[in-house]
Structures are given as C-alpha cells and as structure tokens.
Structure 1
Amino acid sequence: MSVQAAGSDVRQRILDTSYDLFVDRGVRQVGINEIIRTAGVAKASFYSYFPSKDDLILAFLEQRKDLFTIGYLSAEAQERADTPEGRLLAIFDIFDEWFRARDFRGCPYIRALLETGPNDPVGRASAGYLREIRDEAEQSAVDMGLVDPREFAESWMILLQGTIVAALGTGYSSPGRVKNLGTMLISSHRNT
C-alpha cells in the first residue's frame, strides 16, 4: 500500500467517524477530541487533513451530498419515476421511508444552518446545498412547463423542509397528506 493510500485511509476514517457523529448529534455538539478518539487517529494526523473543525464539517457536508442527496435521494427518485413530476412526488415516499428509519435525525444541512447561522462558513455552505436542491426543483418545473419555476421551487423547498421538521416531532403523520400538498403545489403552477 502506498503512503498516499494509507493517508487517504486515515482521512476517510476521520470523515466516516465524524459523519456518523454529526448526523446523530449535529456539527456543534461533537468535539474534535471525540472525533480523534473515536476514529483512533493521532491529533497531528487529524490536523494534517483538517486544519480546523470547519474544514471537517465542510467535508462532511460534501460527503452527505454525495452519499445521500445525490447518491441516494436523487438516484432513488430517478429509479421510481420516469417523469419530472413523478420524481418530485417520489421524494415524499422516499422521505417517508427515511423518517421511519430508526436512525432518522433530520436534515444535516438544515441542522448545521440552524446551529451556525447564515453568516458562518458552515451555515453558508449548508444554505448552498439547500439552494442546489431548490435549483433542481426549479429545473424540474422548467421541464414540466410550470408557470414561474423559481416561485415553484421556493415553495417546494418550504414544503420539503417543513416536512423534515414535522417528521422530527411536530406533526408529520402521513406521507399521503404531504404528497397531496405537493400535487396541489404542482397543479397551482400549471398553465390554465
């Protein structure tokens, strides 16, 4: 094994360890010493890959995008439906499965944004990932020929984010109800 590969393994071990901790407890509730201890790496090794905790958090958010947002959510929606509308609505079925998972802890982007605020580098990055999701919804609206795709995408994001927050304990009870709201939102942006 090359030195670079061994180093990559250490970096990935730190990132994997922090991923689980950050998803479970949030980015500000987990300390660097806990990550170092749990990953089983030396402090110097940690800092050689991640000069600051924010650097690690930013890498975590990028990994979350690759693994969950693109690697799972988008791929699963593509698998379940062959139209832009179908893919948008499939998200609610996927969300329902995610919400019912024993380890569901909400959206790390929303959580990190709330923990750090919009002016913090982590908060700005989190907001950026949420904007990417909004932009995908806007492109779907364009593909469907909806009226005012930007307005649709903004409203769609309110629905998605509200559903996630509700699933954390404020009132989510039915994927059908949320899917109906999504259908109504799509219908309200169709040419009549």
Structure 2
Amino acid sequence: MSAKRQLLVETALNLFYKHGINSIGINEVLKVSGVAKKTLYNHFSTKEDLILAALQARDEKFLGWLSAELSKASGDKQVISNLFNALHRWFNNQVSELTPFNGCFFINTSAEFSDKSHPINQYCQQHKQAVRELIASHLSSDDEQLLTLICVLKEGAIVSASVANELDTAPKCLKIVLRSMSQSA
C-alpha cells in the first residue's frame, strides 16, 4: 500500500471513528491528511470506497488484537475471561492500537446506513461474523448457545460502555457467562 493511500485510510478511519461517517466529508479528510484531492481520487473513486478501506483497516486491526488476546488462553473459561478483560481494557483506553474508545466502529457505521444490503452495511455484518468465528475458534466447546451468549453480551457490553458510559460492564458480563457455564455443567 502506498504511503499516501495509507495516510488517507488512517486519517479517514480516525475521523470517521471519532465523528461519524456522515459528519465527515472528503474535504475534511484531505485537510487533516494534507493529501491533494487528485491523489485521493487516484486511490478511491468515491467516499464509499474510502469508507470501505477504513472499515477494512479497522477490521484487520481489531481482529489481530482480539486474536492475540484470545491466543493467550488455555481452556474455555480463560478464553472467555481474556475476551471480557480485553474489552474492559479497551473501554478504559488501555489498548493503544484501539484507543481512544468511541464504541464499535462497525456498530456506529452500520447505524448510519439503514439499507442492510448496502456494501458498507454488509462489511459491518461480515466483521461481526468474523469476530464470532474467531471467538468460536478459540473455544473447545461447540455449544452454540454458549457462543451466542458470549457474543450477545460482548455486543451489549460495547454498547453499554459507549452509549451509557458504563465502563465496568465487561467484568459484569464475564460473571454472567461464567455463572451460566457453572449452572449448565
């Protein structure tokens, strides 16, 4: 990836994540990045192309971070603990590659595109599916209900931390999952 393209993607991602997709125009991305309009259009035909590139960059960064966090675990309880402890650190701006915390970029972006068949919305859906598959790949259990519980609580924790500023919600979710596992054992 060329340095100018990378700069445009990183600038767009930072601006979109902080302010939202619809409130940031191409001119703001150009101003902050210092890149010429012609250069931007050499790399991206439309704003939608730039949004998709920003989503891809965040997707790679988030999945890489989460994979590293889950890979440190041995056993399902530790995988789940690592997940919610990692989320807690993210919510509290202790994950340098994901901070500052401003909710989930994919939830935020999806909320700005009401058409569920739109390519941007579909990318957000694919990201959520990839996260689910990543979590499943680290669990030895193939219990779909457990996986769904983990994923729903993860999403709820992200929204609670973002919308209600409940930055301690991830440890609460962890307790719920672990209690559920001990009751079903």
Per the normalisation by structure 2, the TM-score is: 0.85
Return closer, same or farther for 1:30/1:137 CA change in 2, 3 Å cut-off.
same
Query: For 2:163 and 2:21, how far apart are their aligned partners in 1?
Result: 20
Unaligned runs of 5+ in 1: none
Larger Rg: 1
The CA RMSD over aligned residues, in Å, is 2.1
Query: For 2:5 and 2:164, how far apart are their aligned partners in 1?
Result: 37
Unaligned runs of 5+ in 2: 94-98
Name the residue aligned to 1:73.
66
Residue of 110, 116, 119 corresponding to 2:117: 119
Return closer, same or farther for 1:137/1:184 CA change in 2, 3 Å cut-off.
farther
Name the residue aligned to 1:95.
87
Q: Report which structure shows greater RCO (CA 8 Å, sep ≥6).
A: 2
Residue of 160, 172, 180 corresponding to 2:175: 180
* Conserved? CA contact 1:135–1:153, under 8 Å: no
Structure 1 letter corresponding to 2:85: D
Name the residue aligned to 1:83.
75
- Equivalent pairs, count: 178
Per the normalisation by structure 1, the TM-score is: 0.82
Structure 1 letter corresponding to 2:177: G
Structure 1 letter corresponding to 2:80: L
Correspondence 1:153 to 2:150: no
Query: For 1:124 and 1:66, how far apart are their aligned partners in 2?
Result: 16
Structure 2 letter corresponding to 1:126: C
Correspondence 1:105 to 2:99: no
Return closer, same or farther for 1:13/1:30 CA change in 2, 3 Å cut-off.
same
Runs (4 or more) in structure 1 with deviation over 6 Å come to: none
| Larger helix share, 1 or 2 | 1
* Conserved? CA contact 1:134–1:157, under 8 Å: yes
State the identity as a percent. 26
Query: For 2:103 and 2:156, how far apart are their aligned partners in 1?
Result: 11
Return closer, same or farther for 1:43/1:174 CA change in 2, 3 Å cut-off.
closer
Q: CA deviation at 1:54?
A: 1.1
* Cα distance per residue 1:32-85 (max 9 Å; x no partner): 110011111111110110111111111111111211222x12212323x22343
Return closer, same or farther for 1:9/1:171 CA change in 2, 3 Å cut-off.
closer
